Amino acid sequence: MAATASDEQADYVVVGAGSAGCVLANRLSADGSRVVLLEAGPRDWHPMIHVPAGVLKLLYNPLVNWNYATDPEPGIAGRQIHWPRGRVLGGSSSINGMLWIRGNPADYDGWSQMGCKGWSFDEVMPYFKSIERYAPGDPEQRGKSGPILVEDYRTTLDLTRRFVDAAQQAGIPLTKDLNGRQHEGVGFSQMSRNGRFRGSTARTFLAQARGRPNLRVETKAFATRLLFEGKRCVGVAFRQKGQDRQVRAAREVILSGGTINSPHLLQVSGIGPGAHLKSIGVPVVHDLPGVGANLSDHYAIRISHRVKDAVSINELSRGLRLGREIARWLTTGRGALTFGVSSAQAFARSREGLASPDIQLLFSPASYDHNKFGELEREPGMTIAVSIARPESRGTIMAKSSDPFVRPSLKPNYLSVPNDLRVSLAGIAIARRIFAAPALARHSVAEITPGPGVTTPEALSDYIRQQGTTIYHIVGTCKMGEDPMAVVDARLKVRGLTGLRVIDASVMPTVTTANTNAPTIMIAEKGAALIREDGGV
C-alpha cells in the first residue's frame, strides 16, 4: 500500500474510513479499480479499541475521537450534549458499544414508501446477510460468510437472564433473534466481533483489502473541500502533515465522513442551502437546501438500581477481580472484558395502535457514576436505558465559517416535539414495571436514579430534560429521497451533481428503531453494489 496520495487520479476517492468507508474501500478495490481512502484520524493502534469492554475509555479520548458537543439545547435545560464520533480507522465502529442490530423491518419499508426505491426490508436483506457471519441464525434470515463475525454475548451474567425473564413477566414477549423478522419483544444482544476482539470495519473489511496495490489508505488526512468542474465533482483537497494536497477521481468521489462531517464538507465546498452559505462567505456551487437538515438522534434516559444477591460488572471491574477477568479474557476470550454496553434489549410500544415499537430498552448489568463520565459505580448495580426509538424531533448541522477547520453548529433540538417526551415517560413506566417484576425485584435494593420519590409526570419530565442524553445514533443530514429536502437519490447520488455520492448514516431518511452501526454498514454494502451497477458514474 502506497504511503502518500499524489495529485494524479484514482478511480474512486472515499472520504472517511469509518463504518461505511472501510466497506467501500474493500468492495470498490476488489476489481482492480484504483481507490484512495482518506481518514482524518490515525491508524487504530490504541489498545482500548480492541478490548470490547474498553469502550468506556474511548468515549472522550481525543486521540481517536472528534469529541463534538452540541449547541446549548433549550429543550433539555440549556445543556450541551457530548457527541463522541470516531476519528480513527474504523470510525465510530472502532469506539462504539459493538451492538449488532438491524432495526425493525418497518424502518426500511418506511424508507421505500418515502420514495427510496430499492430500500425496503426485503430489498436490503441480501446486503445485511452479505456483511455478517452469524452461526446460530436461520440461514434464510442471517448471513453465514460475511466479513464481520456476529456473536451472542460470550459471557452472560445472571442479571441479564433475569432481565429477560422480568420483561416477559411484564408482558413483553420473548424474541429469539432480535435480528430476525420479529424485531419486537425482548431478547439477548448480539455483538460485532473479530475473534475475541472488537469487530470494527477497519479490522474486518479494510484488513481483507490491505494487500491490494490499487488501494491507498491515507491517515491524518483532513478533507478541506471538494473539487468541481462545473457541476461535476472531480476530486478532494485535503491537509496532511501540514501540507495541502489534492487527489482527483476519474469516476467518483464518495463521502463517508458520517452525519456531521459529510454535510459539513458539502457546505464548506459550496453545496447546501444557498442563503446560509452566502452568509458565511462560501461561494455557492449548488443550492441544495436539505444539506445539514433532518438531523435525528435517539435521546435516552437511564433508570438504575442498586443490586443484591447477584454479580454486576461494577465489582468485576476493580482490584483483584479485574485482574482475574483480564487473565480470563487473555486465555479464553470470555469474561467481563467481552462486554459491550448492553447485554439484552427489549422493543415495546408506548401506546396501543402503533404499527411498530417506538421504545428501545437497553439493559446493562452495571450502573454508572454520574460524577465521573465513563466510570462505573463501586457498588453493584444494573441499568435500563430508555431510548426514544422513533423520535419526531429534527435538528440541523450547519457550517459556521468558510474555514473547514471551524466546527459546525450542532442543533439536535431534542424533545422539541412533545410526543418525544410522552414516549420517554411511557418508556420509564415500562422500565419500572420490568424492575418490579419478580425476576428482577428479588435483586433490587432500591432505585438509584431517578429515585423512588420521582413519580409525577412533572418531576419525571424535569428528570428527562435535565439528565437525558444521546446514545450516539445521529443520522439523516444528507437524507435520501425524492422530496425537495432530499440530498441524495435512491442510488445515493447527490442531486443535481455528477461524480459525487454520499454513503454513510447521514443518508437515512429516518433513524432506525435501534442501534445504527449495522444499518450503516449495510448502506455501504448496497452503495458499493449501486456504484458497480452504474459503472462508477
By annotation, the residues acting in catalysis are 473
Judge contact between 360 and 513, C-beta under 8 A. Answer: yes
The amino acid present at 394, given as its one-letter code, is R
Judge contact between 449 and 456, C-beta under 8 A. Answer: no
Contacts with 13 (C-beta within 8 Å, 6 or more apart), sequence order: 35, 36, 38, 235, 236, 247, 248, 249, 252, 253, 254
Among 354, 351, 362, 256, residue whose Cα is nearest residue 304: 362
Q: Are strands 444-449 and 396-398 parallel, antiparallel or unpaired?
A: unpaired
User: CA 236 from chain center: how many Å?
Assistant: 25
Among 60, 96, 299, 81, residue whose Cα is nearest residue 191: 96
Locate 113 and state its grid cell: 414508501
Among 220, 493, 268, residue whose Cα is nearest residue 397: 268
Among 384, 270, 336, 341, residue whose Cα is nearest residue 95: 341
The amino acid present at 415, given as its one-letter code, is L
The amino acid present at 347, given as its one-letter code, is F
Helices 457-467 + 418-436 axis angle, to 10: 100
